[in-house]
Structure 1
Amino acid sequence: MKFEARPAIKSQVLADFVEDNTPPECMEENPSESERESWRLSVDGSSCNTGSGAGVLLVSPSGWTLEYALRFGFKAMNNEAEWEALIAGLTIAKHLEVRRIEVSSDSQLVVGLACGEYEPREDSMVKYLSHFQNLKPTFEVLSVTKIPRAENARADQLSKLATAGGEERNQTMMIHYLDRPTISEADVMDIDKPQEPNWMTPFICWLRDGILPEDPAEARKLLYRVNRFQLRGGILYKRSFSFPWLRCLAPQEADYALREFHEGVCGNHTGGRTLSHKLVRQGYYWPTLHQDAVDLVRRCDKCQRNANISRRPSQPLTSITAPWPFAQWGMDFVGPLPMAIGQRKFLIVAVDYFTKWVEAEPLATITEKNTESFVWKSVICRFGVPRIIVSDNGKQFDCQAFRDFCQEWRIEHRLASVAYPQSNGQAEVINREIISGLKKRLEDSKGR
């Protein structure tokens, strides 16, 4: 026996060994053959009394299956449910980067519209077809065929499962929810859309790029005014005398802000001057703010139809002496109004003659006790003991209990002249403004 060193193994020998011993099933498939094979998509929609839903069955060329049940959070007709199922299936295939797909459905209308055999008549069908046409270029090959309902049983079962009640659902199947139709469009403002040149353009060009207008007069005027402006984060602001920095708005943004403050959620259809002051207090500015507010109020339909028509000749204003704030209050009742929560249909109002500050509270009944409670909570506890209270001759004011209350707090109670409400004119004006505001805000409710 003798020892011999093992010679070096050539690389070709290793390559031959790997080739001879590699199982055939581990060989890589030809990618061109796999790409030529098509996926199969079966869709179906369901609409019944319990709700609407869709079922999607997606099968890969290798046999891999994806089952998808979709429940709608809105009421949909059967044809709309069929379209939603088709669009949902194509969207899933798009995310899976499928290139070739064969779609089968048992809806003759959907297949006819998708293949171009039918023409849509309803607006919803037009929108669904347009959405389908937008998805179509994503696939290299897309075919839609009509099959009998019996051959589409699994997709039909998935659609029925999505619309079944809670006790009938299969807990092993995940059901997705669609809150609104696919064709519904959300109101979105395109903030990246370039805006046309406006009044802010010269200021931004100078503050950001150092470019002045070509006209010497305009350039001199800009240099004089630009000290009150500042550019922060690409947004132009203007310095105010008694408020923080005011954000400058473009014409489109200014129109939206005007309408929102005038007739939006917190708007009460105020006058032009009040509307412009409210916008400034909230931190907005553009050069024609006051005039735009006045023009908007003049064009407002509700403001014109509910405005007060003055039939008296103009006369000089008569000043009412009020020595200091919250010293003299005028009180009155408004109502009866439409019934509100808690059977409240009256409104007790108090207004300060000096500051014109208004305090109001809804009431179910008009009694002496409610009047005293309102004066105590809303006037005395908040602004101190007043010097004078002016009211009409109603029994809730002209009674022994309220007189004793005023005497206890050393409040002078003045009663207005009978059949002459102008003697408590400040309270009457506030009542008129409150009723006018309620009419404008609650006009569509029709008293409900």
Structure 2
Amino acid sequence: MTRTPDGLCHALIDAARKAGAEAADAMVAEGSSLSIEVRQGALEHAERSEGIDLGLRVFVGQRQACVSASDLRPETLQAMAERAVAMAREAPEDPYAGLADPSQLACDWNLSALELFDSSDEPAPAVLQADALAAETAGLAVSGVNQVQSAAAGYGSHKVHMAATNGFSGGYQRSSRSISCTAIAGSGTGMERDYDGDSRTFQSDLRSADEIGQQAGMRAIERLGARKPETGSYPVLFDERVSSSLIGHLLAAVNGSSIARGSSWLKDAMGEQILPDHLSVVEDPFRPRIAGSRPFDGEGLPTQQRAIISEGVLTGWTLDLASARKLNMQSTGNAARGVGSVPSPSQWNIALTQGTDSRADLISGMGTGLLVTSMIGSTINPNTGDYSRGAAGFWVENGEIVYPVNECTIAGNLRDMLRSIIPANDARTHLSRVVPSLLVEGMTLAGN
């Protein structure tokens, strides 16, 4: 028996049919990863992993069950199929479960245009260690940095293949390359830390280790002497490093699973103004060299470019087959899944319309307020959109940064916050979520 992902998928489906499944789909994920971490100029940790995971989902009528394994022996595949069918026969009926109709399936795609895999040679451990050491050295070279908590470099390569009894069969391969650094400045209770990092599909796109280490060090130094801000209502500027979390809360609220359960603060907002009328949120799964790109979803349906928010107006939910059936709608090709789980809705690459002003322009015009560069914890009410998070960053007075800030809480309501956001023009376009710095007027700050 072939052990390619394609061959294993079809072997699992054949075993499921023999075990009594009326329909089935299979997923095989094969990959390897290598990570190197250094500390004080020496190797701190090295880890390499290789493996292959098998997943099988079977249907008996409207009952379904999933099983997974990492053993490729034929007897294991047979046992997986028999166990899955036995589990499905005992599972409760789900009127919305089932594979896609063959007419819905993706049947033609251009993987080369997506550039998901860097075919250059896998970097040797010594190359990754050199990158990590370079980042650490650059971080330590920043005046005032006491130590580098960690500096790391990594590489990964992964293959995924899916097949189903409805006729679908397809797969792709991904690669990733990363460098990161976390620097520490100050001492005792005045100690501060910050980080920088980069992760790309292609090695040639990766920022230099020197730049990453230096940026981590400079960010740590800038945070020294942090204090609590005054309590009150102020404008808050979410730095580009954290602003995507606001759009993330919006995306969670339009997820089809939440909508079908009635547990979303946007459940009745279809067709309503959610953002300012000059802003849109567009999903594009076809961007080359981007982590969220893919030719088909976890149920074999073609992915598509679509506007989730068009000129400020909510135009659609994010749906897989099950949530679409519950809502009497069509899937948007947004099913995500793992080898041991059923599909669920998820967004791919997202971009928010950028503004015309720079981050510096927004700071200059905000008067007195808070620039947020990091956040911890969160309390988000999924039914009302009430928002509260711990934050740190910089206090702004008369349009200028005057001192670093920590140990404060920012609060508001996501409906009100999103309706008034003002975007900068500083989004990093190589990320899967392209979101610039965002200014929100009149949030509540709890500090001193």
- Give yes or no for TM over 0.5: no
Q: Whose strand proportion is higher, 1 or 2? A: 2
**How high is the TM-score relative to the length of structure 2?**
0.20
Between structure 1 and structure 2, the one with the greater Rg is: 1
**How high is the TM-score relative to the length of structure 1?**
0.20
Greater RCO between the two (CA within 8 Å, min separation 6)?
2
